[in-house]
Structure 1
């Protein structure tokens, strides 16, 4: 019975000593000179005393710890505000850069569209037309020229045939004219001889 009580007492002491050691380690890790603001508040809370008055529990904080904590809080806020200002400046620079990039992208897109339109179009009689329309007009003109050439060749051949026929007819007509003139000349000579013979006969008759 005594041994059991002794073991229980030793266990309670061991537990208390472990808890005290942990609290001591936690107190040593907490400080107003380093660590986040939350741990500094925890340090001030653990280093403060307390009392009750009129049934209300009050915490008594060292004035130096309170001033130190306030100074740390203000320094942290100043650092946060500085960081926020830096981030806002960076964001503003990025927005300016993005705006410039978007403007250049719009210009590039516009230039690309103009180049594509210029590439897909041709100048015809001072007018800008698409390549398809230009090809249609060009081939229409070529086809028209071929048709005119065909008509010219046809007319030329027809005229050449008519000219050859006319030359042939003229040659034949000249031959016929020469024959007619020769026969007429022969008839005239015959008539002249007959007339001369008659005149000679009349002279002899007298």
Structure 2
């Protein structure tokens, strides 16, 4: 009977030790929050406390530190990306400002014309050119009119001169004939006086 009891006690002890030797495995997948929830729900209770296996705490600590390290790396990467994007934004803003200045300059140049080194707006330039052309056309008509008047006066003067020359020629011929007659008479008188 002793053997029976001994056998029974040893089976009982092996069974209890087998059950007590069964360790629960800690899940280390999922979010840190899920791991904490698992740790709290699966840990043993002692009075108002929770008894947590040391390897679970070590594994959780390692996972939390890894998550913190990944978060720090992610933050550093994001900060680096933000800095690079800020630099890119500044470059783009500078480029935009330069482009706007260039566009404004080109617009001003497009809306103005350089005349003798002076920038004039197109509307003022058009007004100036049309005024100059108008003045030149009016001057042309004025000079054409004056030329025609002068030409008329010149033609009349030539005709008058021709008439005066003809009158003068006629008068000269008459005067020459008269002078010849008078000279002839004088010569005749002189000849008469010599004979007498």
Q: TM-score range by the shorter chain?
A: 0.7 to 0.9
CA distance in 2, matches of 1:51, 1:78: 34
Match of 1:121 in 2: 112
Alignment partner of 1:42 is 2:33: no
Alignment partner of 1:173 is 2:164: yes
Q: Secondary structure at the match of 2:27?
A: coil
Q: Secondary structure at the match of 2:113?
A: strand
Report the Cα offset of residue 199 of structure 1.
5.5
- Structure 1 residues 180, 48: closer, same or farther in 2, change over 3 A? same
CA distance in 1, matches of 2:165, 2:174: 14
> 156-165 vs 72-81, which deviates more?
156-165
CA distance in 1, matches of 2:86, 2:61: 36
Query: How many positions carry a matched residue from both structures?
Result: 173
CA distance in 1, matches of 2:120, 2:191: 100
Match of 1:8 in 2: none
Q: Secondary structure at the match of 2:28?
A: coil
Match of 1:184 in 2: 175
CA contact (8 A) 1:31 1:39 kept: no
Alignment partner of 1:92 is 2:87: no
Report the Cα offset of residue 42 of structure 1.
2.1
CA distance in 2, matches of 1:94, 1:112: 26
Structure 2: gaps spanning 5 or more residues: 1-23
Match of 2:141 in 1: 150
CA contact (8 A) 2:28 2:60 kept: no
CA distance in 2, matches of 1:155, 1:122: 36
- Structure 1 residues 47, 185: closer, same or farther in 2, change over 3 A? closer
The correspondence for 1:104, drawn from 85, 91, 95, is 95
> 115-124 vs 85-94, which deviates more?
85-94
CA contact (8 A) 1:32 1:40 kept: yes
When the two chains are superposed, the root-mean-square deviation of aligned CA atoms in Å is 2.2
- Structure 1 residues 61, 186: closer, same or farther in 2, change over 3 A? same
Compute the TM-score of the two structures, normalised by the length of structure 2. 0.78
Q: Secondary structure at the match of 1:129?
A: strand
CA distance in 2, matches of 1:201, 1:93: 141
Structure 1: gaps spanning 5 or more residues: 1-27
- Structure 1 residues 203, 96: closer, same or farther in 2, change over 3 A? closer
Report the Cα offset of residue 113 of structure 1.
1.1
CA distance in 2, matches of 1:195, 1:78: 154
- Structure 1 residues 177, 60: closer, same or farther in 2, change over 3 A? same
